[in-house]
Amino acid sequence: MSANKYEEIAQAAIRLFQQKGYHATSVQDIADEVGLQKGSLYHYISSKEELLMKIAHQSISGFNRRLEKIIDMEVNHREKLFMAVQTHITVVAANMQMTTVLLREAFSLAEPHATIIQELTDRYLDLWTRIIDEGIAAGEFKPGNSRLKALAILGACNWLYRWYETDGPLSADEISKVFADIFLDGVAYHKPGGSIPPS
């Protein structure tokens, strides 16, 4: 079983699942896309769902791996949050289709796949929460419900899959700067002498 062909099939699946959705994509569609008979696909995959699973797994694993690396870096916490945002947004922008499949279609996974993806997704949220927590502990971030804050930031960043245009005018870097600025300092001007860290 040539790994090339499998990769080709997976790429076709990513494209189609993104365009039409998992349920609306038939195995026939995928076969057509790679120029095989429907039945021939099954030399490479064991089921349509397995394909979805592989895609989702690869996607969320990538996010986790990258964030873990960032967490291990020795930079201040503003910087770390910025890098996390930037990396996430860069990955989403560079892998719009795959990310869309992860965020929109993984819901169609049955057990035991659903749970596996859910756990990896939970882990990803944990990592973001840790970034906030460590920023608070270091006195760089304001105290508060760190998980909730992580959800706000992660939600905003994930939402990109719904509106980002690969050929649009905004680069991932530009978006990252604006987003990180909001998360760190907000959209409003601050009242002078306002929220200064206690010393």
Partner DNA sequence: AATGAATGAGCCTTCATTCAT
Partner DNA sequence: GATGAATGAAGGCTCATTCAT
Using the rule CB under 8 A, is 157 a contact of a copy of itself? yes
Nearer to DNA, 28 or 76 (CB): 28
Nearer to DNA, 35 or 192 (CB): 35
Nearer to DNA, 3 or 196 (CB): 3
Q: Which residues, 6+ apart, have CB-to-CB distance to 87 below 8 Å? A: 66, 67, 70
The three-class DSSP label of residue 33 is helix
194 CB-contact burial (10 Å; exposed 0-12 / middle 13-18 / buried 19+): exposed
Lay out the site mask for DNA across 28-67 (x = CB under 7 A, - = otherwise): x-------xxxxxxxxx-xxxx------------------
Using the rule CB under 7 A, is 145 a contact of DNA? no
Q: Name which of a copy of itself, DNA, none residue 80 binds, using a CB cut-off of 5 to 8 Å depending on partner kind.
A: none
The three-class DSSP label of residue 41 is helix
Question: For residues 142 and 112, what is the distance between their CA atoms, to the nearest angstrom?
Answer: 39
Is residue 160 a contact partner of residue 175, using CB atoms and an 8 Å limit?
yes
Using the rule CB under 8 A, is 27 a contact of a copy of itself? no
Given the rule CB under 8 A, which of 26-34, 49-57, 67-75, 101-109 is the region that contacts a copy of itself? Answer: 101-109
Is residue 179 a contact partner of residue 155, using CB atoms and an 8 Å limit?
no
Instruction: Please report, as a single letter, which amino acid is at residue 85.
Output: V
Give exposure, 47-82, as e/b (b: 16+ Cβ within 10 Å): ebeebbbbbbbebbeebbebbeebeeeeeebbebbb
Using the rule CB under 8 A, is 141 a contact of a copy of itself? yes
Given the rule CB under 7 A, which of 23-31, 61-69, 70-78, 120-128 is the region that contacts DNA? Answer: 23-31
**From the CB of 31, what's the least distance to DNA, in Å?**
8
Q: By the criterion CB under 8 A, which residues form the site for a copy of itself?
A: 21, 23-24, 77-78, 81, 104, 107-108, 132, 135, 139-142, 144-145, 148-149, 151-160, 162-163, 170, 174-175, 178-179, 181-190, 192-197
Q: By the criterion CB under 7 A, which residues form the site for DNA?
A: 1-2, 5, 24-28, 36-44, 46-49
